[in-house]
Structure 1
Amino acid sequence: MTDDLVFYTHPMSRGRIVRWMLEEVGAPYRTELLGYGDTMKGEAYRAVNPMGKVPALCHGATTVTEVAAILAYLADRFPEAGLAPEPAAADRGPYYRWLFFSAGPLEAAVTNKVLGVTVPDEPRMRGMVGYGSLEAVLDTLEGAVAGAEYVAGGRFSAADLYLAAHLGWGMQFGTIPKRPAFETYAGRHLARPAAVRAREIDDGLLAQQAGGA
């Protein structure tokens, strides 16, 4: 039943990452499109996510919000897709590390850059910021992906998906520098058939919205 997985999103949101994951998983799902400032903040959707933001995923009686949580949930709920190492595998550690590195230090550092937030150089103040500095985040990430096809063992995982999506989006809009290691790593994964399908779906929805405006 397509109603078993219900995906709440907007085609120009972080939901694009979840769309890619859903296409990788291959299970049928239904998309519920929400508008910024109207249905997204409405009472009906706030019953799903009180934050009034997308994406969100409902799977039967289970509701999951936050991109990293949704990716981790789908990887574990649909193990046949092979998007996470086995729970007892040694690669599970790096998988969690880089999945949540994207959700934490990377997103926070890039967001602060976009907003013009500068962390003071005073050591005590810098220590209060979990990511330390944008350069530290980018250098750490470059060390993880340079010359590496995957960040968690020898196969593609949800951690690669999240990192590649962040890097691709950031380099496209100039919030992340186009370092060669980033371009190689992200380009490889963004060319996956599921990633291409997901972009085509969301780009088509954007075109429909523009045509109906």
Structure 2
Amino acid sequence: MLTLFHAPRSRSSRIITLLRELDALDKVEVEIVDITRGDGSGRKDPANPHPEGKVPLLVHDGVVLWETIAIIQYLTDLFPEKRMAPHVGDPQRGRYLSWLAWYAGVVEPVLIAQAAGVSHPYFDATFRGPTEMAARLENALKDSPYLMGEHYSAADLLLHSPFAWYPAATPDSAVIKDWVERCGARPSLQWTADFDARVAAVA
């Protein structure tokens, strides 16, 4: 049994979108929980088994998975039919996993530091900065519509998400902006927005 603990309009919305892309929502029980939000609203929900009250959290037959990257990799391997990720043994598997790790290890820290107005030589040397981040994306997208080439993947779903959520952080690059718009036009994104709106309305 698969159970996803989800809070509307949060980081776990990406997992709802992924499940929609995988055509797997009917195979997952979605438990709606509250979370503490950046504006001070919400609360740590006792119904959420995540020790820090965060989302997403996935439970599969009693095994608990946390962190978006781990959950994306797990679900795309569990439901390979829609080809949202290269399978094990595919020559492109390493490139795909690198994009996921780069998001967690570089993109989120860089964007959070940028939003907070934080800068330090140690931080910049470790995580790089907005300029280097933009250059990596632009180089990957200059000759293909998606990060893995011609085919939309879970890497695009993940990496475009902060720019869709906070457009002001989008690098000033026509190539990157076109990619963000292309990813944002996926029907699964609108489906998730409608789903979250319905859930929030009855919460």
TM-score (norm 1): 0.83
Deviation string, structure 1 residues 161-190 (Cα, Å, up to 9, x no partner): 11122332231xx23335311221121122
Q: Percent identity?
A: 29
The equivalent of 1:31 in structure 2 is 30
* Aligned-partner Cα distance in 1 for 2:20–2:115: 30
From 179, 186, 191, the counterpart of 1:192:
186
The counterpart of 1:175, out of the listed 169, 174, 177, is: 169
Q: Distance in 2 between matches of 1:12 and 1:116?
A: 24
The farther-off stretch of 22-31 and 72-81 is 22-31
Residue pairs, 1:7-22, within 5 angstroms: 7-22=4-19
- Written as runs of structure 1 = structure 2, the 5 A alignment for 1:55-204 is 55-120=56-121, 125-126=122-123, 129-171=125-167, 174-204=168-198
**Aligned-residue RMSD, C-alpha:** 2.2
Deviations 1:115-157 (A, max 9, x none): 221123xxxx356x53222211122122212342222244222
Tell me, which stretches of 5 or more residues in structure 2 are unaligned? none
Q: Which amino acid aligns with 1:162?
A: L
Aligned-partner Cα distance in 2 for 1:107–1:126: 13
Runs (5+) with no aligned partner, structure 1: none
Cα 1:194/1:76, change in 2 over 3 Å: same
What SS is found at the alignment partner of 1:152?
coil
1:41 aligns with 2:44: yes
| SS of equivalent residue, structure 2 residue 3 | strand
**Size of the alignment, in residue pairs?**
197
Change (3 A) 1:12 1:143: same
Cα 1:178–1:16 shift into 2, 3 Å: farther
